[in-house]
Every structure is written in C-alpha cells, then in structure tokens.
Amino acid sequence: MPVEKKDFIYIHDKHGIEYPILIPYDDPIDELAHIILIKNNLPIYKEKELKLHLEEFIQARTTEYYEELSSALVSNAKENKLNLEEIIEDWEKLMGEEVVEFGEKRCASDEELFATAYHKLVHSPALETILQFEHMLSKTIRLKTDEKNNIMKSLSERQNEEMNNAVDRLEQDMTELKINELVAKHYETHSLLQGKLNSEIDTMKEAQRRQYREWIMQMLEENQANSSLPTPSSPNPAPLKEFVSQDSTSSRGHIDTPLLEESFTIHLGSQLKQMHNIRILSANVMELCSVEDNQEMSEPTPQLLQTALGLYSNDLTGLVLMTDNKIGSRLTQEFQEICQRTTEFHFPHIEEQLDKISDIAHQYFRNPHSDTTRNSNSELLQPGDFYITKHSNLEQVHVIFHMVTDDSLRGSNINSRHPVVLGLRHILKIACSNEVTSLTIPLLLQYDMTEEMTMSWCEKRAELVFKCVKGFMIEMASWGGSELKNLQFMLPQGISNTVFTSMTEMLPRIFKMSNPKVLK
C-alpha cells in the first residue's frame, strides 16, 4: 500500500488547526511539533501538549494503516488473488539491490577505475611525482588566470576613462543617447572578451584533465607490468613548459599562518566514551581552501599531500561555508574563484556541480508532494538548508557544506531550535554517515566581524554553539557510521585576544574535560 496523507487536527482557543501528515511517519515527532508550533504561531508552552496529541494521532493512524495492509494481504491470500510472479519479481529486485551475491555483475566505470588507480599510486612511492605534476599543471592555470584578470582590468580602466571623458562632454558634442550607446558597446565588448578568455582557460583545463588521467592510467599499467610500484620518472608535458617558466605576480600573495589557536582533547559518550580532538582558531575561512599561490615555490605544500592521501578514503575533511538562499551566489564568489584557479582532476568543476544542484533544487520545488512544510510558491532555499560540493583541488578540504543563513543570525536571541542550528545537526549526521571525520564549523555562525558582535554577544553565541554541538556529538554515537575525530571551531579573522581567550576558557567548562587525579 502506498503512504497515505492523514489530516491532524488540533484545537487551540476554540479554533481548529489542520496539518497533513504522511502515514507511516518516520521522522522525529519533536521536530514536527515545533514546525506546527511555528507555522501556526502557537505559544511555546503548548509544545508539550501538542507533542502528546501528535504521538497519539500518529500511533493510531499507523496502527490502522498496518491493520488495513495486513487484512488486505490475508484476504487476497484466502481468495487466491495473490500474484506470485509479481511477488517473486519484487523479491528478486530487492535481493539484487541489497545483497552483493545476487547483485548485477557489471564492469567498473571509467570513474571507478581511475579512482582505484589514483588511490593505489598515491599510497606508493609515486606520490611525490604525482603531486609535483599536479603542482606544475596548477601553476599553468593560475598564470593563465592572472593573465586574464590583467587583460580584463586594463579593459575596464580604458572603458572607465572613455566613459568619464564622454560624461565631461555631455553639454558639448555628447548626448544621453550616445552615452547609452557607449554603455551598451562597453558591456558587449567586456562580455565577449571575458567569454573568449574563459573559454580558453576551460579548454586548457579539459586538456590537462585528459592528460593527467591518461598519465595516471599509463603509470599504473607500467608499474603493474613490473609487479611493483617504484617511483616513476617525471612527466614531461612539452606544450606546458614554456608557459610555466614565465613570471607572474600572485593575485593573493602569501597566506599568513593564523596566530590565535588552541587545541583540546575531550572524551564524550554516555557509556563507551569516544576521544575527539577539538581546535579553536581565528583565521580567514578561505585559507583552508586556497592553495598557497607563491610562484617561488616549486614543490606542493604539505597540506596538499595530506589532502591527496585522504582522497577516496574513509577519512575525509569537511567545511561548513555560510551562504545565502541562492545557489552559487555572490557570497561564495571568492570560493568559486579559488576553485577555478586550478584544474579539478577528479570531480566535476565547481560550475557544473552548482548547475546540477540548482536543477535538482528547482525540480524539488516544482514537486507539490516534495515537502509539506515549505511554501509551495517559493523557489529559494531557506535558512538551515544546505547543499554539498566535493573537491580535490583545495588546500585542506574535500567536502564543502554550503549552509544557507539569513540576517536573523546577527541578533542575540537565537536558540537551539533555530533552523541554522538544526542544520548543523543534519550536517554532522551526514558527515558521520559519509566518512567525513574532520569538520570545520564557524563558532559564532559568522565568518566576518560586525558591529553588533560585542564581548557578551560572542560569549552567548559561542556557548549556544558549544552546547548544541556537544549534544549532537553525543547523539552521533547512536547514528552509526564513522566517528567525528577532529572538530575545528573557526572564529572570524581579526577577533581580539580577549574574546579568543574567553572562548578557549569556555570550551573546557562546557565539554567538561576530565583530568587525571594524582594521589600522593
């Protein structure tokens, strides 16, 4: 039997509140009660009573659902109405999907073969050569990107000068119509040139991607033929040599190491306690993503080595990145530019990933049965929603959780039921279910300092996030999957030493770090 939609009715002040619920219902009743409470502006003291009514309603309707299902099955069996062929086909399908022994035998895809080859080589003496090759290819794209930026900057300066001259002659030989025509001409010229340069870079990236993948597969074949994995000879991509040798000014410059940081080791759990490493630091969040862009460096950084070893493993690193309700918005423009400065050899490029996520989101919003709690007229994400992108060309991160936020986070009155806080819970659950064992989250739910972030504001917000994350981590033990070994709380760059010290003193009190007692 398909799921059924039953109308739950709750009486408040002689007015009936109606809310459709799909039976059977498997989601947490606490969250459903809070959703109904918020959507209907009910007083907070009604939540406990509402939850009891919901539990009784769902239990009763679920019992009715399974009684009807059982009765229908028994009746069909008595009357010989069962379609044995259909039942057998359903069982065969389920066994094929769930049991490896009965699953469909298929050949590995090109992506799976490449992933296997890369994982085998990167855990061999070939690692250093692979990273050097990637580093050389990355420098090529960065130089080409810097060249494009310089060309576009020069064009903008010429156009601005031309427009200023035209405005100065407005009362002489220049009319408003001619100025509008000049604006249109400048826009068209700018767009055509930018499209041409972007196309050249995209073509170069695709060529690098093919060259890199063919080189990895060829290296594995040669090493398997020799029955060993010696350090392979350095690659020699001739078309790239001349361009790599040129000098260029770095667009980002040297990345400063964060000065404010503190690390802790804690044990959490009700019975079997798990050890976790927690770190607090103050830095620019993009420092975890951007590869150090120093043209004098001829070797990849140690962070890139660690990132490469963790790729295709059960020890992934994640980052929560705050954004707004539009996928690929201006708030993530800097992040997208960092991704575009090097070739993505393993996954789709960032633009392709965001386009696919956007298409899925639009299909979801157009489906009237997708979510009964969301405004059917809205085509925008809501606070607490998040989407995920995966990367191999970032400095210290494999997975990005793009969390949707709004201006309500600037206030000081948010609580543990705020959508963004609940979104953090869902992110932790997804991380544990998908081998993400290290995660960085913004302690203040902000990555930049603002005027309202006073000492008391920061302490109150940090206390809320600390307590909620601690509860989520304890709850995490019952979710299954991998453990969250390393948790990193990030504070905005430029935060004062006083506030940072207050945060580091607060963490041991909330997580109740245990110290050994020495008996004399």
What residue type is 425 in one-letter code?
R
Query: What percentage of the chain carries pLDDT values higher than 70?
Result: 85
Residues 172 and 98 in one domain: no
Is the domain of 59 the same as that of 186? no
Q: Last residue of a domain, which of 40, 68, 102?
A: 102
Adjacent-strand bridge partners of 408:
none
Environment class of 445 (CB within 10 Å of its CB; exposed 0-12, middle 13-18, buried 19+): buried
Give the model's pLDDT for residue 257: 45
Average pLDDT across the chain, whole number = 82
What is the model's pLDDT at position 158? 92
Of the pLDDT bands very low, low, confident and very high (cuts 50, 70, 90), residue 260 is confident
If asked whether residues 438 and 396 sit together in one domain, one would say: yes
Same domain, 86 and 117: no
Residue 350: Cβ within 10 Å count: 21
Q: Are residues 45 and 84 in the same domain?
A: yes
Residue 322 lies in a domain: yes
Q: Could you tell me if 482 and 436 are in contact, meaning their C-beta atoms sit under 8 angstroms apart?
A: yes
- R_g of the chain computed on alpha carbons: 29
Condensed to tens digits (0 to 9), the pLDDT of residues 325-362 reads 888 776 678 888 889 888 999 999 999 999 999 888 88
In degrees and rounded to multiples of 5, residue 396 shows phi and psi of -135, 15
Does residue 255 belong to any structural domain of this protein?
no
- Flag whether 385 is in a domain: yes
pTM: 0.74
**Does residue 133 sit in the same domain as residue 94?**
no
Instruction: Report residue 361 as tokens.
Output: 């989101």
316-323 and 274-282 strand pairing: unpaired
Q: Is 406 a domain residue? A: yes
Least confidently predicted of 305-309, 354-358, 475-479: 475-479
pLDDT of residue 244: 35
pLDDT at residue 508, rounded to an integer: 87
Is 266:280 a contact under the CB 8 Å cutoff? no
Q: Is there a single domain that holds both residue 184 and residue 306?
A: no
Judgement on whether residues 131 and 42 belong to the same structural domain of the protein: no
DSSP string over 292-333 = P--TT--S--HHHHHHHHHTTSS-EEEEEEEE-SSTT-GGGH
Give the pLDDT confidence score for residue 518 in this predicted structure.
59
Q: Is residue 232 part of a domain?
A: yes
Q: What is the mean pLDDT of residues 216-234?
A: 69
- Together in a domain, 439 and 401: yes
Of 50, 79, 102, the position where a domain reaches its end is 102
Distance CA 130, CA 232 (A): 9
Q: Are residues 153 and 284 in the same domain?
A: no
**Residues 86, 122 within the same domain:** no
Same domain, 353 and 396: yes
Is 519 part of a structural domain of the chain? no
Q: How much of the chain, in percent, has pLDDT values that exceed 90?
A: 28
- pLDDT of res. 398: 93
Domain hosting 171: range is: 113-244
Residue 252 inside a domain? The answer is: no
Please count the structural domains in the chain.
3
Give 11 or 108, the one with higher predicted confidence.
11
Is residue 332 domain-resident? yes
* Domain CATH number, residue 269: 3.40.220.10
Last residue of a domain, one of 45, 78, 102: 102
What local confidence, expressed as pLDDT, does residue 299 receive?
A: 65
